[in-house]
A and B are shown apart, each in its own frame.
Chain A
Amino acid sequence: MPYIANTHADREAMLAAIGKKKVEELFEDIPESRRFPSLDMPKGLSELEVLREVEALSEKNMRADRTAWFLGAGAYNHFIPSLVPALASRGEFLTAYTPYQPEVSQGTLQAIFEYQSMAATLFGMAVVNASHYDGATALAEAVLMAWRADETRSRILVPEDLHPEYLEVLTTYFESFPVKVERYKGDPAAAASDASTACVVASYPTFSGEIYPLSAAAEKAHAAGALFIVHTDPLLCAILKSPGEQGADIVTAEGQCLGNSMNFGGPYLGMMGATTKLMRKIPGRIVGEAKDHEGRKGYVLTLTAREQHIRREKAISNICSNQGLVMLQSCIYMAAMGAQGMKTVATLCRNKAHFAASLINKVPGFKVATREFFKEFTVLTPVPAEEIYAKLSGRGVVPGFPMSRYDASRTHELLVCVTEMNTRNQIELLASSLEEASK
């Protein structure tokens, strides 16, 4: 049997030690009529056969590395340096458990501490946790955190231009609670916060790609006694003002773009940071410095009294397993890129996106609708964006995300994403392809 080390002789010896004749006798607590049901499945396969079958499935999909790829919308095609998977896949990282026994988990714990530190720098925040499931759940839990700070405040203001799937997740999480999720248009400084507002959420950039400065919005929220939550792109923070320096109380982000593959949507990385004031309210695991009795410095899971295994029904969150290995890959990515590399990647993305926008603006019938953007911008198209997508994706160019897929009324809008992976040739091909597709 696969992965079973014991031989028949081993099993006989163990049964003898237990005083049973057959292993079936160990299951006598199970009602007899329910014991050993048949499984309607094939017999097991050898490794070779398994890999062939899975490979065949993996070949039936479109690959970003084989096309001129311009689709983002929450998952991004970025370069992953070889050392990231090489280091993260080491068995000592991959097959370790959650670091509850710190003396034998200093590798994992120190890596988490380094990740927390680098992410805190990026976001401009004092505290970062060890991860959430993804950007959407991180945002939902940030809003929960803000609401729980004062449950008498029942209004939650979110941008209309928030990733629609993120809004869906927020709605699921708040279904049971007496809150009103209200959507505001445009600049977060225009959000009408008042004394019944728990928090104002800003998306930096918005789903359509627009970048709004945040300081005024933060001040306004604070004046009303509300928390200011910013959902951001971590790469953007390398070259544009961080949410923290603009007054954010809580920052969330999707960390997939920091060294993790697109993998059909997961596993990704929910990032969350907060101010010192909110340190003990932040959900999830956090690693802190500690000393042993000889004064040696080590790292340990801390502030654990907030977590589910201690607080149970009063816990801030039910989160247990998080996204440890994905966080590790992002940690290694940030360490390898470093200050220079992060700025370089971000600058390449922004320059290439602006170059693409300038070419697209010259294509008859097309207009870039976003004023200030990082790596994504929205284009108004002369024919339905879905048509353009269908025509071009069959020819090796994926021109962007047709907005009508989330909002049926936005038929002539295409969300275009450009990263360091796109060459000048590809960008020029995009522009000429758009022209052809619109005829």
Chain B
Amino acid sequence: MNLRPEPLVYELSSAGRTGCALPSCDVPEYEIPAALARGKLALPELDELTVVRHFTRLSQKNYSIDTEFYPLGSCTMKYNPKANETAANLPGWRNLHPLAGAEHSQGAIELVYRLQKSLAEIGGFSAVSLQPAAGAHGELSGVFMIRARQLAKGQGRRVKMLIPDSAHGTNPASCSMAGMTTQTIPSNAEGGIDMDALKAALDDTVAGIMITNPNTLGLFERNIEEIARLVHKAGGLVYGDGANMNALTGVFKPGQAGIDVMHFNLHKTFSTPHGGGGPGAGMVAAGPELAPYLPGPVAVKKESRFAMEMPEHSIGRMKAFYGNFGVLVRAYAYILTLGRDGLRSLAENAVLNANYLKVKLEGAYKVKYPRACMHEFVAMGDIAPGVHTLDIAKRLIDLGFHPPTIYFPLIVPEALMIEPTETESKATLDAFIEAMLEIAREAAEKPELLHDAPSITPVGRLDEVAAARSPVLCYRG
């Protein structure tokens, strides 16, 4: 890891430098009217080599999947295949304008069409839209779709969505963005939705329920079909948050179990890279009732030609153009590589790896729900007096691992959500187990090692309170 402080681009600037030469102007100059002209442009000026060194050195301050094991629960930090990068960076894609016209984009539209079909098949749905740019964007689409459908059925008073207390924050946030209210449904002692609470909440103001399955505790919702049946009977629709689909490919099709609309995160289950915070892609899939409401346009096939069309009762566009196409190419290449057997093997190995870690760690780190987990599990980090999950996370950094997800889900105190994914070897898992057990010993015998961690990184724990009180969000010279 690069430990030396790296100056800002502004601090590396030297007047008169530029990092890229352009051809000289081969046409006349046209003066800008004084009233419109900008004055000074105070951007930095760097030569090319300085730019290259700067960003290379910055990259060396990151942990990444390419360099470390990254067991972030619910994020599915699997290997991002380099073949997908080659596929996505082909010049035929890079140089394709979204408005060239369908007749000049047949290859691209065909790829979108084929990916739509594959994802529909994997999820057990009748139709898919690849317009959303991220999981939360797909969620927002799904909530819009449910609302539109309820309105179309004359059920406009249904403005409430039921959400389990274990849900990811984007679920209620998406409801608010769609003008809906939310009601929280508690989890039961086994980590599933409390069925009595659900039944009590189902009235004629309920538009639907948002369920994550497997849920954020890493457990399969055993009552999923009964939940769907109850919600449908009460006039509601079922939204599936597919963030945890990594446990289910080739194993379970949510669309066949009563889910009406669902999003997948292509940057989780389908291996597209996280990029330090995106871009992702949030496919949204629907069964027959909600398919006409999908955001558009979507790819369709007419005889042997492909086109982009808006579904019949579409909620509309969720962004300009067609979705994060560059990300879609990566997901498509991935699905081609795995095929039907590879997709099932993915889920089997993901679940196997998670259960192995759980069995090896649950002695030292209490796991709230002891039964077999899916692709991830939640342990608790309060393993010694004065030691918290945060300390364990920071000490793991010193031992060369990215920490698991911490303090989520909110319903488990001192939560440590661990998801290894299927692309990790037993050897890596064993090294991680060894590190976690070492930390457990340190917590009991030398807790200062945890409290002072991390110590091998360019900076230690940062004062986030001061940063939020007096924010400095820009270089100020």
Contacts and interface: CB of A to CB of B under 8 A. Distances in A.
Is there any pair of Cβ atoms, one from A and one from B, under 8 angstroms apart in the complex? Answer: yes
Is the interface on chain B under 10, 10 to 19, 20 to 34, or 35 or more residues? 35 or more
Contacts of B91: 58, 63, 65
Interface in A63-80: 63-66, 69, 71, 73-75, 77, 79
Contact of B64 (A10, A59, A96, A324): A96
A323 B279 contact: yes
Interface string A342-365: 111101101110110000000000
Interface stretch (B193-201, B438-446, B457-465): B457-465
B106 interface: yes
A289 B340 contact: no
Given A45-B339, A62-B105, A351-B25, A108 B276 contact: yes
Interface residues of A, number: 205
Interface stretch (B217-225, B230-238, B284-292, B379-387): B217-225
Contact of B321 (A3, A112, A114, A165): A165
Given A98-B276, A292-B462, A50 B336 contact: yes
Interface string A313-356: 11101111111111110001011111111111101101110110
Given A239-B32, A324-B279, A338-B43, A111 B58 contact: yes
Contact of B22 (A19, A265, A348): A348
A263 B325 contact: yes
Contacts of A408: none
Contacts of B182: 313
B44 A339 contact: yes
A280 to B, nearest CB: 9
Contact of A298 (B33, B118, B271, B459): B459
A193 B366 CA distance: 60
A339 B43 contact: yes
A261 B326 contact: yes
Interface in B336-393: 336-346, 348-349, 351-353, 355-356, 359-360, 371-372, 374, 393
A92 B458 contact: no
Given A87-B55, A96-B276, A319-B134, A136 B352 contact: no
A113 interface: yes
B256 A37 contact: yes
Contacts of B422: 3-4
B38 A242 contact: yes
A180 interface: no
Contact of B38 (A42, A44, A63, A239): A239
A4 B274 CA distance: 20
Contacts of B139: 318
A318 B344 contact: no
Nearest to B271: A3
B277 A55 contact: no
A396 interface: no
A322 B275 CA distance: 10
A334 to B, nearest CB: 6
A439 interface: no
A267 B471 contact: no
B411 interface: no
Contacts of A36: 250-251, 344
- Of A27, A120, A293, A389, chain B has the most CB atoms within 10 Å of the CB of A27
A302 interface: yes
Given A110-B8, A239-B32, A328-B276, A291 B464 contact: no
A264 B19 CA distance: 28
Given A315-B176, A318-B136, A101 B474 contact: no
A325 B176 contact: no
Given A59-B107, A289-B472, A312 B169 contact: yes
Given A95-B66, A263-B96, A238 B38 contact: yes
A321 B195 CA distance: 32
Interface string A263-290: 1111110000000000100000111111
Interface string A107-150: 11011111011101110001110110111110000001000000
B46 interface: yes
Given A54-B90, A90-B59, A172-B144, A26 B19 contact: no
Interface in B279-333: 279-281, 295, 315-327, 329, 332-333
Contact of B252 (A23, A34, A313, A322): A34
B432 interface: no
Contacts of A79: 22
B295 to A, nearest CB: 7
Kindly name the residue among A4, A15, A163, A420 whose own CB sees the greatest number of chain B CB atoms within 10 A.
Answer: A4
Contacts of B106: 60-61
A84 to B, nearest CB: 9
A5 B475 CA distance: 44
Given A104-B61, A242-B38, A324-B276, 7 more contacts: A6-B353, A18-B355, A73-B99, A97-B277, A261-B95, A308-B173, A321-B267
5 contacts: A10-B426, A44-B336, A107-B60, A171-B316, A264-B326
The 3 closest A-B pairs by CB, nearest first: A265-B321, A176-B179, A58-B92
